[in-house]
Amino acid sequence: MDTSLLIGVILGVAGILITIIYSAKRFNNKKVINLNKSNFNIIKDNNFGDQNERK
């Protein structure tokens, strides 16, 4: 039973990864990466601003 549960979990995770990869290929990967980078930059700027205000 333990081996069958492990196989089921592995197949489930693999299926989720495959769906994510196919959905990412449908969109433009460059646009997604640029949005992620800009979001991370905004988060970093906000963190530094909060630290400076606390001082």
Q: For residue range 13-27, what is the model confidence (pLDDT) as tens digits? A: 999 988 887 777 766
Residue 10 pLDDT level (bands cut at 50, 70, 90):
very high
Bigger pLDDT: 6 or 35? 6
- With a pLDDT cut of 90, the percent of the chain lying above it is 15
Structural domains counted in the chain:
1
* Beta carbons within 10 angstroms of residue 53's beta carbon: 7
Range of the domain at 43: 2-54
pTM of the model: 0.38
pLDDT of residue 18: 86
Per-residue tokens: 53: 């205000």
Cα–Cα dist 26/31, whole Å: 12
pLDDT of residue 14: 93
Cα–Cα dist 18/24, whole Å: 10
The alpha helices in 1-55, defined as continuous H runs, are 2-26, 29-54
